[in-house]
A and B are shown apart, each in its own frame.
Chain A
Amino acid sequence: MDLNDNNRKEAKQLLLLATLAGKIMLKNGAETYRVEDTIERICKSRKNIKYADAFVTPTGIFISLEYKGEMMTYLVRVKSIKIDLNKINLVNDFSREFVGSNMSIGKGLEKLKKINKIKNYNILTKTLFGSLACAFFSLLFGGTFFDFIASYLVSFVVLTTVNQISKYKMTFFINNFIGATLASVLSLLAVKIGIGKNMDIIIIGSIMSLVPGVAIANAMRDTISGDFLSGLSRGMEAVFSALAIAFGVGLVLNVYFKGLI
């Protein structure tokens, strides 16, 4: 009886572990089918569990598993999504290791919590490289060396600001809108001061850091693997991010062409 109870506790902990793994992946921008797959693999890797199923949407995880005829269910709501592809990779490796070996569940939980805290790059490095990406992108569009510098400075300020704003947990729409508005205003200023030459190229380069690339890729990959709900909601995220950027740019351009600046 005692032994039996212990096992039941373990099954519950396994459920928690699988949920945590799924949550980390989903929060950092994994496709839903990958999250579902990982959760099911982790659950089914231990004995006595014959049935385990997961239903994942971009905003929540539902898992249930059957342990000796008893159903256990867990539900998690995932609110913020920020992109950290390294964590997806780490959890992926972890699940492979957990399934393949006889790792105890307590140790697994510890490892997952450690993964959750890892920061691959600090924010400054990310911002510096992100603005470098935008600056080179403006070169790809035929910008001059001065456009490169202007675009670098503008996107550095934009990325720093967006990082600061996202601490207040406003919606992604507002983040993108403010980012795009700031990018256009600063590009206008840069051209006026004389750092850059081609305003359009600087703006195009600077908004590239806000563009919803992950959402587009994930929406398609979800849809094609049969998760239509996730595909639709990720697609909506992409569409509205793009709209926010377009509105931000449009607002500034409108003011500029009416001669108010």
Chain B
Amino acid sequence: MSIIKQLIFSLLSTIGFAVLFSIPKDSIFKSGVVGAIGWIGFYISSIYLKSNIAGTFFAAITVGVLGELLARYYKKPATVYIVPGIVPLVPGAGMYYTMLALVENDFFLAANKGTETFFIAAAISIGVIISTSLSKSIKRVKYKN
């Protein structure tokens, strides 16, 4: 039940971000679906692996790969699908809790949360890197043939 809730909320949230970044009208729903699948990937894997960092990593890979595939299929820039899907993964909450801990003079918690935030950002980057370089190497192989 909670998965269905998360799916709907993340779909609508990604669609909102998609309009905010003004993506083409015919791609809004598709990018919403990409974002929702990515978020569900995050939700499930962060529960099973008990780590937000690993969850974000898998979610970023999912979003990246789906984005590249859709971009190839519909002949559109991959950014159109990847950016709205990535935004919900960005550790806004981590930033907030780090700041909160700093303000409350709890430096131990701040270091803890800050490190987690940093690594979540790194996980997003690595996820995007992996999916992009996969798609690039596929392109290169195709050109050679």
How close is B101's CB to chain A, nearest CB, in angstroms? 10
Whether B86 contacts A217 by the Cβ 8 Å rule is yes
CB distance from B66 to the nearest CB of A (A): 14
User: Contacts A86-B22, A86-B23, A126-B19; is A220 near B132 (CB within 8 Å)?
Assistant: yes
* Contacts A29-B79, A132-B12; A211 near B90 (Cβ below 8 A): yes
**B51 CB–A CB distance under 8 Å:** no
Q: Which of B10, B17, B18 has the most chain A CB within a 10 Å cutoff? A: B17
Which of B20, B39, B79, B100 lies in contact with A133, CB distance below 8 A? B20
B87 touching A208 by the CB < 8 A rule? yes
Known interface pairs A200-B96, A204-B96, A213-B83; A84-B22 also in contact (CB < 8 Å)? yes
Selected from A83, A96, A220, A246, the residue in CB contact (under 8 A) with B99 is A246
Contact with B along A117-141 (1 / 0, CB 8 A): 0001100011001111110110111
Contact of B20 among A130, A139, A141, A204 (CB under 8 A): A130
Q: Which residues of A contact B13 (CB under 8 A)?
A: 132-134, 136-137, 140
> How many residue pairs at the A-B interface have CB separations less than 8 Å?
162
Segment among A10-18, A44-52, A108-116, A247-255 that sits at the interface with chain B? A247-255
Answer whether residue A57 sits at the interface, using C-beta atoms and an 8 A cutoff: no
* A216 and B125 form a contact (CB under 8 A): yes
- The interface residues of chain A lying within 8 Å CB-to-CB of B129 are 220, 223-224
- Measured between beta carbons, the chain A residues less than 8 angstroms from B69 are none
Interface of A is mostly: helix
Minimum CB distance partner of A221 in chain B: B132
B75 to chain A, nearest CB (A): 8
A229 within 8 A of B: no
Report A148 CB to chain B, min CB distance, Å: 10
How distant is B95 from chain A, measured CB to nearest CB, in Å? 5
> How far, in Å, is A219 (CB) from chain B's closest CB?
8
A86-B24, A207-B92 are contacts. A132–B103 as well, Cβ < 8 Å? no
Measured between C-beta atoms, what is the minimum distance from B64 to chain A in Å? Answer: 9
A178 to chain B, nearest CB (A): 16
Contact across chains for A121 and B95 when beta carbons are under 8 A apart: no
Q: Is the interface of B mostly helix, strand, loop or mixed?
A: helix
* B128 in contact with A217 (CB, 8 Å): yes
Q: Counting CB contacts under 8 A, is B6 at the interface?
A: yes
Residue A225 interfacial (CB < 8 Å): yes
Contact of A130 (CB < 8 Å), options: B17, B24, B95 = B17
Residues of A within 8 A of B103 (CB): 250, 253-254, 257
Q: Residues of B contacting A242 with CB < 8 Å?
A: 95, 121
Inter-subunit contact A89/B25 (CB<8 Å):
no
Roughly how many angstroms separate A134 CA and B90 CA in the complex, as a whole number?
13
A203 at the interface (CB under 8 A from B): yes
Specify which of A120, A159, A217, A253 is in contact with B79 (CB 8 Å cutoff): A217
**Interface residues of B, Cβ cutoff 8 Å to A:** 6, 9-10, 12-25, 27, 39, 75-77, 79-80, 82-84, 86-88, 90, 92-93, 95-100, 102-104, 121, 124-125, 128-129, 132-133, 136
Interface residues, chain A, with chain B CB atoms under 8 Å away: 29-31, 34, 83-90, 92, 96, 120-121, 125-126, 129-134, 136-137, 139-141, 159, 200, 203-204, 207-209, 211-214, 216-221, 223-225, 242, 245-246, 249-250, 253-254, 257
Write 6 A-B pairs (CB below 8 A) sorted by A numbering.
Answer: A84-B21, A134-B16, A140-B13, A213-B83, A225-B132, A250-B99
The 5 closest A-B pairs by CB, nearest first: A133-B16, A129-B19, A213-B87, A130-B20, A136-B13
Besides A130-B19, A137-B13, A204-B92, 11 new A-B residue pairs in contact (Cβ under 8 A), listed by A number: A86-B25, A89-B76, A90-B24, A129-B20, A136-B10, A140-B10, A209-B20, A216-B125, A221-B132, A224-B132, A250-B103
